[in-house]
Amino acid sequence: MARTIIVTGAASGFGEAIAKSFATAGDAVMLADINEVGGQRVAGEIEAAGGKARFQYTDVADARSTQRLIDTTIEWSGGIDVLVNNAGITHPPVPVEKIDEAEFELIFAVNFKSVYLMTTQAIPALRKRKGAIVNIASITAEHPRWGQSVYAATKGAMISFTRALAIELAPDGVRVNAVAPVASLTGMTKDTLGSADPQARRRQIEATIPLGRLGEASDIAGVVNFLASPASAFLTGVCLPIDGGRSI
């Protein structure tokens, strides 16, 4: 039976690839993002390829907006099988004292409060379907590079939350897992690499990855699909690195 999947941050990057991979497998995909143009484009491309998708403008840091997303998804497709918390922002590599309080609060709201909101609001529907949650963390949480303090902390919070929720939701048959990608080529790359000399920084990062390249959105989509599938039925509370060996 076709499942219903919510993917946040689905207008570009990992979210776009994740949404398209679920749609290709025959699932109905609800795309959520603040980027209306990108979200409509991705939904249109999925439908043109014969898939089922819908875009809903959603600010994942706003409780009313996320509740509207959950309600619209259930009206549209009857329930929720998988929630992928992917929307996120970062900051360029800077010392922590260059991150002011407003930026700190914004990054925590988009990267972590969002996961609390989406999860608490989706739990009743996920319980009914014995569904799964997949959170997009980052290898930065446990292996930070210079200048990534606040971003790394949001992803650390996400990994702890994943493990704690896995315990809490296991009796209901709901699995909660995460992935930790290494630096990858997406819309976020310019922030990750900074502006000083992005190409030199890229080579520097690649040199620390045993498989010798940055990640790609398709690398992440494949593992997220696995964590949402029966093939991973006995996995919960894990955070799988997708990092070409960087964390060895």
Ligand X SMILES: NC(=O)c1ccc[n+]([C@@H]2O[C@H](COP(=O)([O-])OP(=O)(O)OC[C@H]3O[C@@H](n4cnc5c(N)ncnc54)[C@H](O)[C@@H]3O)[C@@H](O)[C@H]2O)c1
- Interface residues with ligand X (CB under 6 A) are 8-9, 11-15, 33-35, 38, 58-61, 86-90, 110, 136, 138, 181, 183-184, 186-188, 192
Respond yes or no: is residue 151 known to be catalytic.
yes
C-alpha dihedral sign at 115, 118, 120, 122: negative
Which residue lies nearer to ligand X by CB, 89 or 127?
A: 89
Closest CB 150 distance from ligand X, rounded Å:
12
Which strand (E) or helix (H) includes residue 69?
helix 63-77
SS3 percent helix, strand, coil of the chain, rounded to 5, is 50, 15, 35
- C-beta of 4 vs 112, nearer to ligand X: 112
Q: CB of residue 35 vs ligand X: minimum separation in angstroms? A: 4
Distance CA 180, CA 197 (A): 25
Nearer to ligand X, 34 or 80 (CB): 34
Residue 117 corresponds to which tokens in the numbers above?
A: 């909101």
Among residues 9 and 244, whose Cβ is nearest to ligand X?
9
State the nearest-atom distance from the C-beta of 151 to ligand X, in Å: 7
Which member of 14, 22, 112, 151 is catalytic? 151
105/83 Cα distance (integer angstroms): 24
Smallest distance from the beta carbon of 170 to ligand X, in angstroms?
25
3-state SS record for 98-144: HCCHHHHHHHHHHHHHHHHHHHHHHHHHHHHHCCEEEEECCHHHCCC
Q: Are 93 and 16 in contact (CB under 8 A)?
A: no
Catalytic residue positions? Answer: 151
